[in-house]
Amino acid sequence: MLINLYSGARAADDDGHRALLRAEYGQAELTASSWSLMPPAERNIRYRRGKKAVYSYKDGLSVLNGDAEWQRPGDFFKAAHEACLYLNYEDQHSCDRIGRFDWQGQQLAEFDSAGFQSYFGEQVVVLDQYSESRSWGVFDLQGQEWLRVPQRLGDCFTDSYLFFGPGNGADYEVYAVASRQRLGSLRVAGRLLTALQGRGGRLLVMDAEGIHQLDGLQLRLLHRFSQEVDLQDAEARAWQDENRLYLTFNHLGKNDSWLYGVPQQGGAPVEELHWNSGWRFSHAPYQVDYHVGSRNYLPLQRQGLLADDAALCWTPDEPLTPALFDADLSPQREVSQMPSATKGKHGYRLRIRDSSVNRAVRTAAFELGRLLGECCSGAFNSDWPQISDRKFDGHFAIDICCDETPSDFERDYLPGMLRYFREDGGLSPAGSRASLQPLELRWLPAGADN
């Protein structure tokens, strides 16, 4: 299922009973086959695993451990695991630090602040110290550094092995975390895109050729790509649930994306899902586990339109097929151009008919986001040279035809969305001096014809 929420949809709160997807101006409550748009939460989820969770406020963090809760004013979340979590804070000298804490709030170690590519694991910490020395600092869990290596494109880390990309040569240098020793060299096709350690110690890596299992320092090919991946600007992610290990990648500025599911137990074939539907996976400013509670949540962003976010959601038992992109939209929706007072220009009218006013509102939001990406330029539209409609005059009109009475939140959601992209996103009609106008929104009975 595809869940579309603007300004968010990157963090899921799934305790096994109730599944929520959080955004700044709204949240989605998920059922087995549908979802509902709800008002935003007072606090944003950053991590959940069972009865352990981390929430953020404007002035800090709240950490839940069962029935106990403790606060960290001014802190920022970096990563979390079953036994510990990592938080970013200022010390008494106003210097940025990263602390490793247990779930009772006791600090276990302290590290210097580092860049966003750092790896915070359960057995090792690798700090991105690019701004100081263009190097990786490798630390144990007590904060003691045991290795420093120059940064190179394609470096990958897991809790068992560290892969440092080739310099002038063609081979990776592989280090074992447990022994802190160099194991030897590993030759791959091009460079590594990502690495993932599965249950039972199974280790997968992905390079330009395909997906491999690492046996010692030998690669065993599990899945060969139909053609070798162009590694320039390629991005990848990896995570797992109880049934599969997942690897996904795409390229900056391009529509095509791929998701692979490798069975936890060998023997079954690798599943592949390819799409170019205008959604690409997006980044979070902290280390993310994409499997939360009963579902997988892959954060997406509409191609070219920053902050029009979504999540692809599925359970461990669902096959990886294009059906996952079903957004549960109103089946009766019309998008048409409407006359403009400016010669040669036009506006857009959306008409949504539905027995559910909530589904009608989120369907209108889905179509509004698509149109903003196609006809507006500005800070939040990163693909503005490829905009397809430069005749838009800045006027949107939406008719919601439904007999249900909308809540105050549902009434305000669409005008607030357009206002957000106009004011925060700096969007305006492409190729024009006009500005985005306030939304013309009408609530009509289900049978309305005009």
181, pLDDT greater than 70 = yes
φ/ψ of 80, rounded to 5, equals: -155, 155
Q: Which tokens belong to 110?
A: 């302290």
Spell out the SS3 assignment of 82-142: CCCEEEEEECCCCCEEEEEECCCCCEEEEEECCCCCCEECCCCEEEEEHHHHCEEEEECCC
284, pLDDT greater than 80 = no
Predicted confidence at residue 415, as pLDDT, reads 98
Domain boundaries, the chain: 332-444
Q: The whole model's pTM is what? A: 0.91
28, pLDDT greater than 80 = yes
Residues 256 and 276: beta-carbon distance below 8 Å? yes
φ/ψ of 24, rounded to 5, equals: -70, -35
Residues 6+ positions from 314 with CB-CB distance below 8 Å: 1, 295, 296, 320, 324
Residues 390 and 384: beta-carbon distance below 8 Å? no
Residues 205 and 189: beta-carbon distance below 8 Å? no
Distance between CA 295 and CA 317 in Å, rounded? Answer: 9
Distance between CA 40 and CA 28 in Å, rounded? Answer: 9
Q: For 91-103, what is each residue's pLDDT tens digit?
A: 888 899 999 999 9
Distance between CA 265 and CA 245 in Å, rounded? Answer: 10
**Bridge partners of residue 73, in order along the sequence:** 60
Predicted confidence at residue 47, as pLDDT, reads 87
394, pLDDT greater than 90 = yes
Distance between CA 392 and CA 349 in Å, rounded? Answer: 12
Distance between CA 331 and CA 323 in Å, rounded? Answer: 16
Distance between CA 87 and CA 77 in Å, rounded? Answer: 5
DSSP state of 227: S
Amino acid residing at 355: S
Residues 129 and 137: beta-carbon distance below 8 Å? yes
Residues 6 and 20: beta-carbon distance below 8 Å? no
Q: Across residues 150-173, what is the average pLDDT? A: 87
Distance between CA 375 and CA 395 in Å, rounded? Answer: 11
Q: For 197-243, what is each residue's pLDDT tens digit?
A: 988 789 999 999 999 999 989 999 999 998 888 887 888 899 999 99
Predicted confidence at residue 286, as pLDDT, reads 60
266, pLDDT greater than 80 = no
Could you give the C-alpha distances from 81 to 123, 141, 294, in angstroms and in order? Answer: 10, 13, 17
130, pLDDT greater than 70 = no
DSSP state of 290: S
CA dihedral 67, 73, 76, 79 (to 10 degrees): -30
Q: How far is CA 404 from the centre of its chain?
A: 33
Residue 218 exposure: Cα atoms within 13 Å on the Cβ side: 2
* Least confident segment among 57-61, 80-84, 251-255: 251-255
Nearest one of 254, 265, 272, 290 to 202, comparing CA atoms: 265
Of 362 and 24, the one with more pLDDT: 362
How far apart are the two ends of the chain, measured CA to CA in Å? Answer: 33
Give the model's confidence band at 365: pLDDT under 50 very low, under 70 low, under 90 confident, else very high.
Answer: very high
Distance between CA 258 and CA 186 in Å, rounded? Answer: 25
Predicted confidence at residue 169, as pLDDT, reads 60
Distance between CA 368 and CA 123 in Å, rounded? Answer: 45
Residues 380 and 427: beta-carbon distance below 8 Å? yes
